[in-house]
Amino acid sequence: MAKKLAVIGAGLMGSGIAQVSAQAGWDVVLRDVTDEALRRGTDGIRASYDKFVSKGKLAADEAERALGRIITTTDLDAAADADVVVEAVFEKIEVKREIFATLDELVKDDTVLASNTSAIPITKIAAATRRPERVVGTHFFSPVPMMGLCELVRGHKTSDETLAAAREFAEGVGKTCIVVNRDVAGFVTTRLISALVVEAAKLYESGVATAEDIDTACKLGFGHAMGPLATADLTGVDILLHATDNIYTESQDEKFAPPESMRRMVDAGDIGRKSGEGFYRY
């Protein structure tokens, strides 16, 4: 019998997780608070499958079967019989804790409760439940169908059994996993990219070099596929600012303190590709 996955949040990350999981044979319930958000999420999944089919990477009948494994709902109770729940909502700890407290009352005793957070300590989320040993971080990367990494994060009380189940799930949907053994804010990947983006933004702000030259230095000097400022624009300057703020608040480490120019960019709505302007114009 196919295992059941509940994905909480139908945005770019949640819909991507639902997409790869359904393709891997999971029965998926995708939950969001409005029908409109669910429609956008499923439209995105369908368009992504169509792209894979057109490129010959997925058979049309496989795509249809995968779509048929995804149901949508605005009811959180639909997660009650899930084997794994992945929360993929906005990076606000109060929202995540509220969701996990509700899930704690709903789901089976052996359900894995996972958060797709990129910066918030898993222990703080797990503390909203009576089963912190069943809570784990599964940090996927965007766009989920294309990116091969999943960062597994062990909270202070996460059990070995839960970590193993999270690894089995993530590897089963085609991801390579790294394990974060100590629950520091930002984990491994967000700490690395945040430190690099903050320093790159400071160099740019102070006129040391242009955005293009800073990114070229990282691409040709370090072999990065994309420079840090172009990465910030792709991810969203607002999202990276929020993540760095979370890490700085938790660690009080000055290397994670974003420069004022990043805050003003976000205030002005210059948040990268999605707004048409960030460190670059699009």
Rounded Cα distance between 155 and 180, Å, is 9
Helices (H) and strands (E) in the chain, counts: 11, 8
Asked if the model's pLDDT at residue 118 lies above 90, the reply is no
17: which 2 tokens? Answer: 């997780």
pLDDT digits (tens, 9 = 90+) for 77-114: 999 999 999 999 998 899 999 999 999 999 999 999 99
CB 223 within 8 A of CB 258: no
The sheet with strand 176-180 has its strands ordered as 70-73, 27-31, 4-8, 84-87, 112-115, 135-140, 149-154, 176-180
Tell me the per-residue pLDDT of 198-247, one tens digit each, with 9 for 90 and over: 999 999 999 999 999 999 999 999 999 999 999 999 989 999 999 899 89
Write the CA distances from 184 to 16, 190, 199, integer angstroms.
Answer: 25, 11, 20
- Residue 48 labeled ligand binder: yes
Q: If you average pLDDT over residues 157-162, what whole number do you get?
A: 98
Mean pLDDT of the chain: 96
Is position 255 annotated in a ligand binding site? no
Task: Give bridge partners of residue 85 from the DSSP assignment.
Answer: 6, 113
pLDDT tier, 69 (very low <50, low <70, confident <90, very high otherwise): very high
Say if residue 264 is exposed, middle or buried (CB neighbours under 10 Å; 0-12, 13-18, 19+).
Answer: exposed
pLDDT confidence of residue 51: 96
Mean pLDDT value across residues 134-141:
97
Domains of the chain (ranges; CATH) run: 4-180 (3.40.50.720), 189-268 (1.10.1040.50)
Exposure b/e, 21-32, CB count within 10 A at least 16 = b:
bbbbebbbbbbb
51 with 96: CB under 8 angstroms?
no
What is the pTM assigned to this prediction?
0.91
275 a known binding residue? Answer: no
Q: Residue 147: pLDDT band by 50, 70, 90 thresholds?
A: very high
